[in-house]
């Protein structure tokens, strides 16, 4: 089955933001070893799974709004500026494609890595002097962290790359 790549027109059946050859080019540029994978179908499957994950994980945080109610994916979007420059409503940002390639690499290297059934690490506790902080992860809504992907999406999502939040409680 041929991968249907979003071309900026808001395709109703798009499955990815990047092609297998684009994924290979990105991998070559940043040192991901895709040479041993001679079957583009494996790359395309990883791109499909990574696109589903990327849109699901960040869709509500992407800036702007979808350009069409019938488009399959979260991009293209209207009303987005990156570094004081308007991203055209028919453009797919290179940073989004790079984030997708990073996600697809993780999915290709270990299928299911983006959406594990096991929760993230439960508790992290730090104590410095009289001050102690505790983070509980793995609770409802918790996600494994992918800082390389988060950082590539800075400027395209609300909240920047900060994936952690918490509250202070006086003892």
Q: What is the pLDDT of residues 129-150, one digit of tens each?
A: 777 776 665 554 455 678 999 9
49 occurs within a structural domain: yes
102 occurs within a structural domain: yes
Rounded Cα distance between 23 and 40, Å, is: 10
Distance of CA 143 to the CA centre of its chain: 12
Question: pTM value?
Answer: 0.80
64 occurs within a structural domain: yes
How many domains does the chain fold into?
1
162 occurs within a structural domain: no
167 occurs within a structural domain: no
Range of the domain at 84: 20-117+147-152
Least confident of 45-54, 90-99, 105-114, 152-161: 152-161
- The torsion angles phi and psi of 168, rounded to 5 degrees, stand at -95, 135
With beta carbons less than 8 A apart as the criterion, state whether 14 and 70 touch. Answer: no
112 occurs within a structural domain: yes
31 occurs within a structural domain: yes
pLDDT at 29 over 60: yes
124 occurs within a structural domain: no
Rounded Cα distance between 15 and 6, Å, is: 7
């Amino acid at each position: 089955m041929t991968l249907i790549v979003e071309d900026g027109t808001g395709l109703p059946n798009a499955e990815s933001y990047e092609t297998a050859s684009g994924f290979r080019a990105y991998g070559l540029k940043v040192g991901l070893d895709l040479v041993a994978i001679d079957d583009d179908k494996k790359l395309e499957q990883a791109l499909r799974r990574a696109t589903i994950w990327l849109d699901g994980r960040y869709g509500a945080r992407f800036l702007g709004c979808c350009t069409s109610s019938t488009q399959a994916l979260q991009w293209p979007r209207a009303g987005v500026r990156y570094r004081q420059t308007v991203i055209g409503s028919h453009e797919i940002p290179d940073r989004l494609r790079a984030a997708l390639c990073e996600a697809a690499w993780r999915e290709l290297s270990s299928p299911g890595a983006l959406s594990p059934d096991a929760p993230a690490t439960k508790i992290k506790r730090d104590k410095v002097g009289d001050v102690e902080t505790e983070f509980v992860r793995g609770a409802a809504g918790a996600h494994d962290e992918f800082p390389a992907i988060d950082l590539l999406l800075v400027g395209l999502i609300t909240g920047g790359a900060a994936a952690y939040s918490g509250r202070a409680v006086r003892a």
